[in-house]
A and B are shown apart, each in its own frame.
Chain A
Amino acid sequence: MADKAKYKTAPLKCWKKAKELRLKYYEDYAKAHERGGLRWAGGAWSFSAIPSGLGEDVWSLTSEPYAASIAFDKDFSLRCLEAAEKASYARDLCAYMRNYWGSIILNEYAFGGPFPKPDFIWQDHICCSHAKWYQVVSDLEGGIPHFCMDVSVGPYNEMAPHKIDYLVGQMHDGIEWLEETTGRIYDDDLLIEAVKNEFRTTSTWAEICSYNKHVPAPLDEKSMYSLYVLGTLNKHDRQVAEFYQELRDEVKERVEQGIAAIPNEQCRLMSDTQPPWGFLSIFRYMEEFGAISIGSLYTFGLIGIWEDKPDGSWGPRATPMQQGIDIKDRDQALRLYADWTLSKPEWQHFYSPHLKTEMMIRIAREWQLNGILLHYNRGCEGLSVGIAENRLGLIEAGFPVMAFEGNMGDEREFDEARVKVRFDTFMETLGLKKNGKS
């Protein structure tokens, strides 16, 4: 094993800007009505560029990252969870959903003030909870117009024109519904701009993650959570697209200058699914052993859009603009948008755990990993189903795997001390000791 501090490190220059953009997002949503604008709510997985055609004064609140923000604040989260339980919602439901509902029931916004009621809901169904989440939100808020798209067309490797048609048809219906619901005239130019922004955001995020193939990794996953979140909030937004390009340039520079995320990288790991948001300190605990989590399929593939490169590696998908495609009208924009989004890696394993295993093995090989941490996340059925199957596939491929139980959004189901004991054991099996000692 190498010396404790073998790489130089430096804080990210654009860190402050990322924090400011995130805070501005939540403030913009809360203040939308003061500015005469509209508020909509929906999942981070929704086709968020589409409501942008209603005007430049339309702000969203995406549910999963909002709930993760609640989870990060353990005291508030506990109050939200207990409020949801008191309202008779079962404790084994999606932890994000329960935090979000609790925030509405308590009428407390995690960023101050009362919970800002949305004007309409724009959602899709990629997991079982998505189907019910906003039905309850609508009920709790006394009835909010709700449009939901069905995206269950199968994995991208089985894509066919009729599947794209199925989505695009719903998108056209959705735009008509948006016009009827809000009384506004839809602007296709704004849609096209938002879709282009989203192509840029999601391709650039994949490029940023690709730089972590470098040893030492320029980014650690705990920091990546604060960066990728912008893509879960506002991926269709010009400022986010531009921020990611700025971040990409900085990460590229870090690689060129050999600037590492941690000074003593000796062991490269990846995690899986959402982390226990109230206990991100476990990532810093790993670093005491010289182990870094360089990301995960979740961090890479929830926002990043990827493709196979000519050399066989996994890299950022070329945007339609990079391919020289000129987007001229609504239908073309929606078709490209549907195809683009359906290729999202994190959507694939809803159809088969084997697809997820393949992608994880690919990451483990290309990012030169020494081991994998799997989170049996009781808070998310959608992303946790099949993890035991993934574990077997990864072990068969020759990678050491450690599984731990927890919950992304319910601190009562995460035993920090026990998980650290498990980490100690896993690190020991990898030949690592605390503080870089061999």
Chain B
Amino acid sequence: MISAGIDIGAKTVKTVLLEDGKILGKGLVPAGLDTVASTKQTLKRALAAAGLTVEKVEGFMATGTGRKSCPFTDAEITEVGAAAKGINHVLESCRAVIDVGAEEGRAVRCDAKGKVIDFAFNEKCAAGAGTFAEGMARALEIPLEELGPLSLKARQAVPMNAQCAVFAESEVVTLIHNKTPREDIARAVLDAIASRIISMVRKVGFEKDVALIGGMALNPGFVESMKRGLEMDVHVPEDPEYIGALGAALAAAEQTT
């Protein structure tokens, strides 16, 4: 059977079409202000990529912050459940998955079958979410995509002491005025985000293998910050921003069969 998993996030909507555990097609569009329209659009893209029509899809499952607004189904799985299922499908050895998106970060400890054992959210502190990286890229006057590569050129670790995104931004401005090299500031920003995420990960507990998913996993500088902070390798699966949608598609398949 063909199932669809739709992850309606704060910044993007992702769809994965799945048949017998194999991904047939994917689609990603910005969430925008009209998430229903964005969700329809992302499904359209995934169907086009798979060469399918919507009638072929037998089961839908929504996840993500906006899952309750999904126009195709009432069936839903939480972001935590979807992340655990999705990562288990692509990396069976994974026992801890860290999901850092635009709006919040999550740490999930799971077993060999992808069952959630414990979880933690950071849904309050902007300094531990992807949006903060976006804001700091703006402060450095570079596109977000360049923040990670720039940070990899850093020659020194510059501490950022502020715990709050607002104060951290003023700290970045101070660093800019102090003529601190921009690559060092970029690393400082990503190290600071990683530090907040890692304290949440340690609360949940982790063991090998650790995977990083969500939009921030696409930032190579952040991945390096996480590796340094955790003092271990961190796996980034292919298309890490689709893992939640994949987990939802797997849940849809389980529900339908």
Contact = CB atoms under 8 A, between A and B. Distances in A.
Interface of A: 395, 400-401, 405, 415, 418, 421-422, 424-425, 428-429
A429 B123 contact: no
B119 A418 contact: no
A387 to B, nearest CB: 12
Nearest to A405: B124
A429 B119 contact: yes
Interface in B79-132: 79-81, 115-119, 121, 123-124
B80 A418 contact: no
A25 B152 CA distance: 68
A134 to B, nearest CB: 33
Contacts of B115: 429
Contacts of B116: 425, 428-429
B123 A418 contact: yes
Interface of B: 77-81, 115-119, 121, 123-124
23 contacts: A395-B118, A401-B118, A405-B124, A415-B124, A418-B123, A421-B123, A422-B121, A424-B78, A425-B78, A425-B79, A425-B80, A425-B81, A425-B116, A428-B77, A428-B78, A428-B80, A428-B81, A429-B80, A429-B81, A429-B115, A429-B116, A429-B117, A429-B119
What 6 pairs across the A-B complex have the smallest Cβ distances? A425-B78, A429-B116, A425-B80, A428-B81, A428-B78, A424-B78
B235 to A, nearest CB: 23
Nearest to A423: B78
Given A425-B81, A429-B80, A429-B116, 18 more contacts: A395-B118, A401-B118, A405-B124, A418-B123, A421-B78, A422-B121, A425-B78, A425-B79, A425-B80, A425-B116, A425-B119, A428-B77, A428-B78, A428-B80, A428-B81, A429-B115, A429-B117, A429-B119
Nearest to A426: B119
A326 B199 CA distance: 58
Contacts of A429: 80-81, 115-117, 119
A421 B81 CA distance: 12
Nearest to B74: A434
Contacts of B118: 395, 400-401
Nearest to A427: B78
Contacts of A415: 124
A152 B4 CA distance: 61
Contacts of A424: 78
Contacts of B77: 428
A15 B254 CA distance: 45
Contacts of A395: 118
Nearest to A418: B123
Contacts of A405: 124
A425 B115 CA distance: 12
Contacts of A400: 118
A216 to B, nearest CB: 26
Nearest to A434: B76
Nearest to A421: B78
- Among A401, A405, A415, A428, max chain B CB count under 10 A is at A428
B103 to A, nearest CB: 11
A418 B104 CA distance: 11
Nearest to A400: B118
Contacts of A418: 123
A364 B116 CA distance: 21
Nearest to A391: B203
A395 B80 CA distance: 19
Nearest to B76: A424
A415 B80 CA distance: 19
Nearest to A422: B121
B34 to A, nearest CB: 20
Nearest to B84: A429
A400 B117 CA distance: 8
Nearest to A431: B115
Nearest to B124: A405
Contacts of A428: 77-78, 80-81, 116
Nearest to B75: A433
Nearest to B78: A425
A429 B119 CA distance: 9
A418 B123 CA distance: 8
Nearest to B110: A429
A425 B84 CA distance: 12
Contacts of A422: 121
A400 B116 CA distance: 10
A400 B78 CA distance: 17
Contacts of B78: 421, 424-425, 428
A62 to B, nearest CB: 33
Nearest to B204: A395
A405 B118 CA distance: 17
A395 B123 CA distance: 22
A415 B124 CA distance: 10
Contacts of A421: 78, 123
A212 B81 CA distance: 31
A91 B135 CA distance: 29
A424 B123 CA distance: 15
A408 B118 CA distance: 25
B39 to A, nearest CB: 19
A400 B81 CA distance: 15
A418 to B, nearest CB: 6
A371 to B, nearest CB: 11
A412 to B, nearest CB: 13
B257 to A, nearest CB: 15
Contacts of A401: 118
Nearest to A401: B118
Contacts of B123: 418, 421
A425 to B, nearest CB: 4
B143 to A, nearest CB: 31
A418 B65 CA distance: 10
A422 B78 CA distance: 9
A111 B121 CA distance: 39
A425 B116 CA distance: 9
Nearest to A419: B123
Q: Name the residue among B77, B78, B79, B116 with the largest chain A CB count within 10 angstroms.
A: B78
B86 to A, nearest CB: 14
B70 to A, nearest CB: 15
B13 to A, nearest CB: 18
